[in-house]
Amino acid sequence: MLGRGEGTAAGAPQQLEWKFSQVFGERAAGEEVQEVDIISAIEFDRTGNHLATGDRGGRVVLFERTDTKDHGGNRMDLERMDYSISRHPEFRYKTEFQSHEPEFDYLKSLEIEEKINKIRWCQTANGALFLLSTNDKTIKFWKVQEKKVKKVCDLNVDLSGAIGNGPVVCSSTSTSSKPCMENGGCNGNPFSYSSINTSLTAGGVLSLRLPVANNNETNLAAKCRRIYAHAHDYHINSISNNSDGETFISADDLRINLWNLEISNQSFNIVDVKPANMEDLTEVITSAEFHPTHCNMLAYSSSRGSIRLIDMRQSALCDTHSKLFEEQEVPGTRSFFTEIIASISDIKFAKDGRYILSRDYMTLKLWDVNMDSGPVATFQVHEYLRPKLCDLYENDSIFDKFECCLSGDGIRVATGSYSNMFRVFGCSGGSTETTLEASKNPMRRQIQTPSRPSKSLGTLPRVLRLGGADTSGVDVNGSSFDFTTKLLHLAWHPTENSLACAASNSLYMYYA
C-alpha cells in the first residue's frame, strides 16, 4: 500500500488476471427473480474458510470452502500462506436459516422489513460458527454448529434365539415396524411382555438385544443465542465487531450504540448527532466500523462526505472526534448534486488499520489515518456519469449505496457499478485498473493509468488521482449502461486474491 515503498511504477503490484471460479443461484435466461431472493449482504469470516450472504427475504446462507480440505490445509496453514500464491478457491453450500421475519411496529404504524442489512462474523469456539445479522431494527446473534444425530440402528430381539410361535420384532431391514409372528400373524404391540417372555433361548437366557444408537450422521443447526432490539429509532445501517471479541457497535442515521455480546437488554449510546431541533439537521451517519486492532478506536462516515475517527477513552459520549477526514470542495464546482454524490455509502479499514477506504457515488478514496488533510488516492468510478446526474436523480439511482473492499495485503481495492460491473484498482502509481462483469464470461478492460498529481488537490502532500475519467455515455466496456442491474455488494477474501460479488440473486466468485 502507499507509504510502503510501492508508490512508484517500479514498485507497482503485479497485474492480476481475474478468472471466473463459481456461481451460486445463477438465473436461467428469461427467469424472473423474486424480490426476496436478492442478495443484500456478503461477508467472509476471518480465515476466509466461510462465506455468509443475507438476502431481502431475511435468510442467511452459509458457504464453506472445500479445496483447502482436499489439499489438507487447515487454518494455521492459511494464515502462514504467502499471499502471492494463487489457488482455485472452491466453496460449497453449507446451510441456511431464517434470520429475520417481517414485523410491524404498532406504536409507529411502521412495517419493518426482514431484509438483512449487514452480516458480521464473530470469533469461533469449539468448532461452532458465530455471527451477527441485522435488519432495520433488530440485531441477532447466531450460533451454527454441527450436531451428531443419534439414530437407533438395532431395536430387535434375536430371531435366532426365539422359540415356539411367539411374536418377535422384525429386523431393522424390514419395512414394517410391527412385530411379525413366525406363522405370518402380527401383533400390534412390538414391546409387549409376551414377546420378551417367548424370546427365551433353550437355556432360559433372555435373548432380547439392547437398543444401540449410532452417531453416524451430523446435522447443522442454527440457534439464535441473543436478540438485541429496541435500541434504534432509525434504520440500522452498520454493525461492526470489536477486536476485543466482547463488544460490537450498531449505527443508525443519528446514533451509534455499543453492545456487549453477552448482554442483550442494555447498550450504551456513544455517538449522538441528533440536534435539539431536527430542522437544524445537516448530516446523518451512513456507515461505522471498529478499528481492526485498537479496541478503543472506531470511525464513522456521514452524508456530507466526511469521516470521523473517535477514541472511546476520551469520554463516555464521543461527541467530539479525534480526527476529521474530508476533502476540500473545489471553488466554483458546487451544484445541486454536490452533497448527494458526496455522501459516503461505505467505509472499510485496511487490515493493519493504517488506511481507511471510503466509497461515495462517484469515487473511491483512500485515507491515511495519520494525514487528515485529504485522501492519499482517489479512484474515479462513475466520472462518466456526471453528465447524466439529472437522469440518475429522476430514477433514484443517484441514491444507490455501493460497498467497497480492500485486499488483505492492502495493495488493491474494489467496488461495484452498474450493468453488474465491478472494478479493481491498484493503490500504487503505475498500477492498472480492471473492470469485469459478474458473469461466467467476464468482460475485461485493462487500463494503464500512471499516477499523476491532481490539479485540484495539488497542494496536498502525496496525493494521487488514479483511474482515467470517461465522459462518454457508455460504460467502461463501450456498452450502453443498464441502471436496473447493479452490483452493490462484494467482499474480498482476507488472505487471497479472491472476490465474492452479488448480482441480484446470484453469487459470483472470482480468483486471480
Cα distance between residue 1 and residue 6, in whole Å: 6
DSSP reduced 3-state for 87: coil
Ordered by start, the domain boundaries in the chain are: 39-146+220-228, 156-210
Closest CA to 300 of 316, 314, 318: 318
Q: Which helix (H) or strand (E) holds 389?
A: helix 389-394
DSSP reduced 3-state for 161: helix
H helix count then E strand count, the chain: 5, 34
Q: What is the 3-state secondary structure (H, E, C) of 88-122?
A: CCCEEEEEEEECCCCEEECCCCEEECCCCCEEEEC
Sheet containing strand 323-325, strands side by side: 285-290, 297-302, 307-311, 323-325
What is the grid cell recorded at 319? Answer: 461527541
Taking CA 463 as the corner, what is the angle to CA 11 and CA 421, rounded to the nearest 5 degrees?
A: 75
Signed CA dihedral, 23, 360, 308, 453: sign only: positive
Alpha-helix runs per DSSP H in 29-89: 67-70, 75-80
SS (H, E, C) 299-351: EEEECCCCEEEEECCCCCCCCCCCEEECCCCCCCCCCCCHHHHHCCCEEEECC
* DSSP-assigned letter for residue 208: B
The pLDDT value given to residue 154: 66
CB-based contact 442:510 (threshold 8 Å): yes
Q: Which helix (H) or strand (E) holds 195?
A: helix 193-197
Which grid cell is 108? 409507529
pLDDT of residue 316: 85
Give the Cα separation of 407 and 418 in Å (integer): 22
Calculate the alpha carbon distances from 232 to 237, 250, 251, 256, 268 in Å: 11, 9, 8, 9, 11
pLDDT (0 to 100) of residue 27: 78
What is the 3-state composition of the chain as percent helix, strand, coil, each rounded to the nearest 5?
A: 10, 40, 50
Cβ neighbours of residue 383 closer than 8 Å, sequence gap 6 or more: 362, 363, 467, 469, 470, 471
Mean pLDDT split into 10-residue runs, the chain, 512 residues? 42 77 85 92 96 97 83 44 58 96 88 96 91 97 87 61 47 43 45 46 58 76 95 96 96 97 96 93 96 96 96 88 89 85 96 96 96 92 93 94 95 94 85 84 59 34 41 49 89 95 94 90
CB atoms within 10 A of CB 170: 17
Q: Are 471 and 383 in contact (CB under 8 A)?
A: yes
Q: What is the pTM of this model?
A: 0.79
Residue 395: predicted pLDDT? 92
